[in-house]
Structure 1
Amino acid sequence: SKYCSIHSGMHHSIRYILGIAAFLGTFPVCNITKRNTQALAFRWISLVTMYSLTLLAGFLTIEFIAIDYSIQHLNQANLTVAGGFKKATSGTIFYGNACLSVWLFLQLARVWPDLAKKWQLVELSMKRFGQPKLMLRLVAITSVFMTLAFAEHVLHNILNVKSATELLSLEMNITNTVTFLGYMKIFSLKSHWFLFDTYESYATWKGVAIVWLSLSGTFIWTFTDLFIMLISSVLAAQFRILNSALRQVRGKMLTQFQWREFREMYASLTHLVKLVDQHVNKIIVISIANNVYFICAQLITEIDAIKQNYTGSLFYLYSFLFLVARTTAVVIQAAAIHDESRKLAPELFLCPAECYCIEVQRFL
């Protein structure tokens, strides 16, 4: 039924995930948690869009300062120092990725209501072949990925603050018993060194802004990878449904009308993939490029940190492996769409000669 299709499709399966992203300023679509795609809308004058634009303004402010820092410090002297390359460029790359991601998701949000409706039409037309069970798979992907990302982020901050507390306590009025305000100060000076000329230039309001923008940027980075995996997983699942339907009629005598149904369904899915790719391809490029940069930077600059202590060694190993794993997962999940679409041809080759017709020819 139509009700069943609406409540087992792409939008229904990921609407709460997208709702969290909208709340945090990453995916500003109004009514994103509504069940009916007809309720979806993008408005420039809305709380979620205004919050996204506020985030973008904050990211751009830090990005301009980070670029200036990179220009001044990206030289031979700094590049030959252990960790010099990452120190000179990581701020620029991190906030550059945040700026581009927010802007690209804003552009995607503008067309998402229309795209979600077209996607649902394809799902409705596929109901006679069956419905993919998406909810459990997508919830599992989200839970595992976000848990691992959260653990990596928390460990990174704990180790950073721990390593900086002793040093900064000697130079500033910070005790080893770190309060929340003390944590903000240490975190800001340790992770955003390019924003401060001296320790004295720090102010509490700057710390609040830095923690807010840093957490938002980290979420956007994580959500970008997650979004690609979820969308790819749904598209691949829909191709699997079509493949399964073709396997069930393998070797059977089908009419020209039945072959036309299969061909038109495949054409609809292919068109949907191209439409999604048209709006998401830049996001995929940014995601892969950002992950590859941090993999290389981590590999090059953090090797010396392994010598420090056992805890640090375990963290950097986990952080590096997680970066590699998340990048691999994004690529493999996106490639699964192409892999599933290629499984159709072998089924068509098994079409009995007696029912071979113009529709099978056009299919091939």
Structure 2
Amino acid sequence: MYDGTFHEAVGSILAVAQLFGIMPVYGIKEKNPSQLRFKIFSFRFLFSIIYIVGCMLSLSLTVHWIATSKLEFGKLINFTFEFTNLMAIICFLELGRKWPDLIVNWYRVEKFLPPLKYQFDKQKMAYQIKMASLVILFSSMSEHLLSITVGAHGANNCPTIKDPIKAFYFRNYPQVWLIFPYSGWLGSLTKFFNIILTFAWSYTDLFVIIISIGLTSKFEQLNDELRKIKGRRGISPELWSEYRVYYREIVGLIAVVDKAVSKIILISISNNLFFICVQLLRSLDKKPTFAHTFYFWISLSYLIGRTLAVSLYSAGINDASKKPLEVFRSVCREDWCIEVKRFNEEVAHDTIALSGMKFFYLTRKLVLSVAGTIVTYELVLIQFHQDDNISDWDPCLTNNKTAMLMSYG
């Protein structure tokens, strides 16, 4: 049985994230959000700090690698991957501090809105969130396992290093062996933090989708009530005023949520935009084997699909906020009053959407803007690609750019 609250719907997803040091908040599985707590002096917080420190050390090795060798585009890709996802983990840690108050406010708005009467309506949001989480996390895990398989296949055929495990670590994490002598446990530890950063990338997109589903459902809850009076005559101004207050409560909640998560949204969109451009640029490279080619196109398709999912789910908030206009158009002239006029003007003219620190708003127009930006950047990168020299760090003397792709796959 569900109570229809966002706090209840996201509890299990946050529990999975905490395994990777993200959102160290207590009380995520409790029934009442007032029991949520963020504790600095706690095991979960320490767990998260250890992960952050480990990822910082990994990033510092990449910075040293770039600073002490020839600057190449592939090395900048590694740096971007590690830096942006480390920033995402830090932003989630900051969000964890705000999460109890944010969810209590969210819960208050949910209780203020007209109640959900049927169990189907109460479980709809939780079902959508869990299905989106299952698809994103399973796809991300499958894509990463495929990258490891392809990387292991290439390492197993390395002519210069007979140990396939050593060859795998040398090909994917050359920055480590510039400072430290080879050891299996150090290679495994480096791979572990790579997995943490990879999960952070996927979870950042998933989190934006989850937030979008939760906020869209609140508008849909109000829109369902408005549809009941669509075309009816003799509706009192007081009822319109009541619905307008409901609408303003949801808009206020979106403003609060946007202030808390806008940094995460900015990282999500910019990260995906950058790596789509990189992957499209890599499509010009010749792949050493069919396995590399297969993995590349699977990875690119997954990345584009996930980016579209983030954009479209997020745009759903703005779409749902405009649906009351359909009801206003059905109001006859005799029933048109000042409350309907105010309500109509707010819905028609306000931009209700999440944003990336106010640099952009997540609406359907953003999808076309991102597509145009990708084309523009790609033309620049293609020119840059023509002047890019092949790196010389690959001990197996295979396609270096593909090997670099494996390192953040």
Does 2:125 match 1:134? yes
CA distance in 1, matches of 2:95, 2:328: 36
CA distance in 2, matches of 1:44, 1:298: 39
CA distance in 2, matches of 1:28, 1:202: 34
* Superposed CA offset, 1:88-129 (max 9, x none): 112211210222011100111111111111111111122336
Task: Look up the match of 1:161.
Answer: 152
CA RMSD in angstroms, aligned pairs only: 2.0
Is the contact between residue 227 and residue 327 of structure 2 (CA under 8 Å) also seen in structure 1? yes
Structure 2 letter corresponding to 1:282: K
Q: 1:28 aligns with which of 21, 24, 29?
A: 24
Identity %: 28
Is the contact between residue 291 and residue 323 of structure 1 (CA under 8 Å) also seen in structure 2? yes
CA distance in 2, matches of 1:353, 1:186: 77
Report the number of matched residues.
339
Note closer, same or farther for the CA distance 1:25–1:191 as it changes in structure 2 (3 Å cut): same
Cα displacement (A) at 1:304: 2.4
Is the contact between residue 28 and residue 49 of structure 1 (CA under 8 Å) also seen in structure 2? yes
Task: Look up the match of 2:404.
Answer: none
Does 2:34 match 1:38? yes
* Superposed CA offset, 1:59-105 (max 9, x none): 11121221232345564xx4xxxxxx22x112211210222011100
Q: 1:281 aligns with which of 253, 262, 276?
A: 262
Does 2:244 match 1:263? yes
Q: What does 1:222-237 correspond to in 2, within 5 Å?
A: 222-237=202-217
TM-score by length of 1: 0.87
* Superposed CA offset, 1:167-211 (max 9, x none): 1xx43451x5xxxxx3xx44432221122228x722233123212
Task: Look up the match of 1:99.
Answer: 86
Structure 2 letter corresponding to 1:101: A
* Superposed CA offset, 1:319-347 (max 9, x none): 11111111111111111101111122232
CA distance in 1, matches of 2:7, 2:311: 22
Structure 1 letter corresponding to 2:91: L
Between 1:308-317 and 1:279-288, the stretch displaced more is: 308-317
Task: Look up the match of 1:336.
Answer: 316
Task: Look up the match of 1:352.
Answer: 332
Runs of 4+ in 1 over 6 A off after TM superposition: none
Q: 2:185 aligns with which of 205, 211, 224?
A: 205
CA distance in 2, matches of 1:23, 1:33: 15
Is the contact between residue 4 and residue 116 of structure 2 (CA under 8 Å) also seen in structure 1? no
CA distance in 2, matches of 1:39, 1:303: 53
Cα displacement (A) at 1:58: 1.1
Task: Look up the match of 1:147.
Answer: 138
Structure 1 letter corresponding to 2:275: F
Is the contact between residue 22 and residue 92 of structure 2 (CA under 8 Å) also seen in structure 1? yes
Is the contact between residue 250 and residue 350 of structure 1 (CA under 8 Å) also seen in structure 2? yes
Structure 2 letter corresponding to 1:171: T
Structure 2 letter corresponding to 1:55: Y
Task: Look up the match of 2:98.
Answer: 111
Between 1:290-299 and 1:327-336, the stretch displaced more is: 290-299
CA distance in 1, matches of 2:264, 2:69: 29
Structure 2 letter corresponding to 1:19: A
Structure 2 letter corresponding to 1:51: F
CA distance in 1, matches of 2:293, 2:160: 27
Cα displacement (A) at 1:256: 2.0
Between 1:6-15 and 1:260-269, the stretch displaced more is: 6-15
CA distance in 1, matches of 2:169, 2:48: 22
CA distance in 2, matches of 1:67, 1:123: 47
Task: Look up the match of 2:109.
Answer: 122
Q: 1:50 aligns with which of 46, 52, 60?
A: 46
CA distance in 2, matches of 1:353, 1:191: 69
* Superposed CA offset, 1:135-155 (max 9, x none): 221121111111111111000
Note closer, same or farther for the CA distance 1:323–1:73 as it changes in structure 2 (3 Å cut): farther
TM-score by length of 2: 0.78
Structure 2 letter corresponding to 1:100: M
Unaligned runs of 5+ in 1: 79-84, 177-181
CA distance in 1, matches of 2:135, 2:115: 32
Is the contact between residue 129 and residue 242 of structure 1 (CA under 8 Å) also seen in structure 2? no
Unaligned runs of 5+ in 2: 345-409
Does 2:60 match 1:70? no
